[in-house]
Copies of this chain bind each other. A is one copy, B any other.
Amino acid sequence: MAITRNSFKAELNSKGWRMTPQRETILQVFQTLPRGEHLSAEDLHSRLSEKDAGISLSTIYRTVKMMARMGILRELELAEGHKHYELNTASPHHHHHMVCVQCNQTVEFDNDSVLKQGLKQTEKSGLQLIDCQLTIYTICPEALRMGYPALPDNWMCSRAVAEKHD
């Protein structure tokens, strides 16, 4: 049931498309990504440049969008202004996200009942469910104490500061 290099190639070919080194590399990155992590196009690009395989940004954008449409990747709108991608594992590995609007820290959590609600809803409307994402926007106690949403310019919570020093 999980995606493999070969099933990916078969699915591509069945649509008249092709397996290429770039597509294989990108699939591998997601296959070896620790559970709970997700990458933006830019993340992928710099990660691949560091190693050997430089893949152009355009190709990355084209590829992740295609893989998302094929149902292989899941497209997430978590941080402001750009999308993240992760392998689209079906239930029972279906999970959701909780993201702090101040520091963008994301925590994933499992909740199968949400997917059930989603399926109920789409069946009722005669539509096919592609994905179902519960995103919870929160703000951390520290930012609240500092007077959010009237925070000083450039203020960051300690978690966000720590993240900058990675």
Q: What is the total number of residues of chain A having a CB less than 8 Å from a CB of chain B? A: 42
> Assuming A128-B144, A149-B69, A150-B15, is B114 touching A98 (CB within 8 A)?
no
Q: What residue of chain B has the Cβ atom nearest to residue A14's Cβ?
A: B150
Q: With A and B bound together, what is the CA distance between A98 and B149 in angstroms?
A: 29
The answer to whether A55 has its CB under 8 Å from any CB of chain B is no
Give every chain B residue within 8 A of A98 (Cβ-Cβ). 121-122, 125, 127
A10 sits at the interface (CB 8 A): no
Cross-chain contact B130 with A133 (CB below 8 angstroms):
no
Q: How far is the CA of A111 from the CA of B101 in the complex (A)?
A: 23
Interface window among A1-9, A21-29, A32-40, A135-143: A135-143
Q: Which residues of B contact A147 (CB under 8 A)?
A: 15
Contact status of A127 and B139, CB under 8 A, knowing A132-B134, A149-B69, A150-B15: yes
Identical chains in the assembly: 2
Which partner residue on chain B sits nearest A109 by CB separation?
B121
From B101, B111, B121, give the contact of A136 (CB < 8 A). Answer: B121
A129 CB-CB contact with B under 8 Å: yes
Which one of B71, B100, B111 lies within 8 Å of A127 (CB-CB)? B100
Q: List 20 A-B contacts (CB under 8 A).
A: A69-B101, A69-B148, A70-B149, A98-B122, A113-B113, A114-B114, A117-B134, A118-B134, A122-B136, A122-B138, A125-B138, A126-B141, A128-B139, A128-B141, A128-B144, A129-B136, A129-B137, A130-B137, A130-B139, A132-B136
